Structure 1
């Protein structure tokens, strides 16, 4: 019966496992960073949509008073109000490269704000994009209550 030499090095195995572990840690850190930025954009989109729906309303008080249950917004007015709101809170400095899109849906008298911004990831994983983009959207409408 022959005895085989079972000696070997575990170093390549340990290096491989360490690399996989480090990649997993980097993935979790980057995902957390992107999630937090998206949450911040959600908050901005909510505020911008509410401001646009409220201050972008047109013809609120006509001769017959308020005849609709929701206010009608004008596209141009909403865009100006949303841009002014985001500028007043310094959104472009907090999120460099911020892109804004505001739309008025005439059918349901609502305002939708879409925000997109590139993410500054703390760690780079080989094969992943250098500056991925996250986005958020929010829709708001002003409802009139007559009591």
Structure 2
């Protein structure tokens, strides 16, 4: 088609600019929320690892562990002692104050302590369609091993 003399193509770029601005705002909100969730999970990872180490350490202590000799395998861990040590560790580090609603799940499988921490997350920005009450979880585990080289 030929253009007629004096006729200009006209149109508004405002809807296009508004559309791009909305897409950009959604991308920014997603990145900010994803970063907040990632940082919370990283913090909970360190906390779960520390709690598992503390639970394994104190769960493997006591006369019942050493009564029959150390043996040659990993030390058995008392589930109730490990669970109590994890709870005490989280309280001593102020985790319950820093992460209101924090839940700890402790499981002992003979020689290994597993700690799973779950904390609610308040997202800085709300992306449409995101969960209304998101939570973040982290898991740590520890084993108390006997150093065979250090034994006489």
Q: Report the TM-score when normalising by structure 2.
A: 0.89
Of 111-120 and 69-78, deviating more is 69-78
User: Aligned to 1:125, which of 124, 127, 135?
Assistant: 127
Residue 10 of structure 1 deviates from its aligned partner by 0.6
Q: CA deviation at 1:130?
A: 2.6
Say whether residues 1:111 and 2:113 are aligned partners.
Answer: yes
Task: Please say if residues 48 and 113 of structure 1, whose CA atoms lie closer than 8 Å, have aligned partners that are also in contact.
Answer: yes
Deviation at 1:29, TM superposition (A): 0.7
Q: Choose 1 or 2 for highest CA Rg.
A: 2
Choose 90-99 or 52-61, whichever is displaced more: 52-61
Q: CA RMSD in A?
A: 1.5
- Describe the superposition over 1:9-43 as per-residue Cα deviations: whole angstroms up to 9, x where unpaired: 01001000000001101111110110000000000
User: How many angstroms does 1:113 deviate by?
Assistant: 0.2
Partner in structure 2 of residue 37 of structure 1? 40
Residue from 49, 73, 84 that aligns with 1:80: 84
TM-score, length basis structure 1: 0.92
TM-superposition CA deviations, 1:29-74 (whole Å, max 9, x none): 1101100000000000000000000101152211x42114211111
- Post-superposition shift, 1:5? 5.6
Q: Partner of 2:66 in structure 1?
A: 61
Following TM superposition, where does structure 1 have runs of at least 4 consecutive aligned residues deviating by more than 2 angstroms?
1-6
CA deviations over 1:62-102 (Å, ceiling 9, x no partner):
1x421142111111111111001100111011111111000
Unpaired runs of at least 5, structure 2: none
Cα distance in 1 for partners of 2:123, 2:92 equals: 26
Q: Count residues with an aligned counterpart.
A: 144
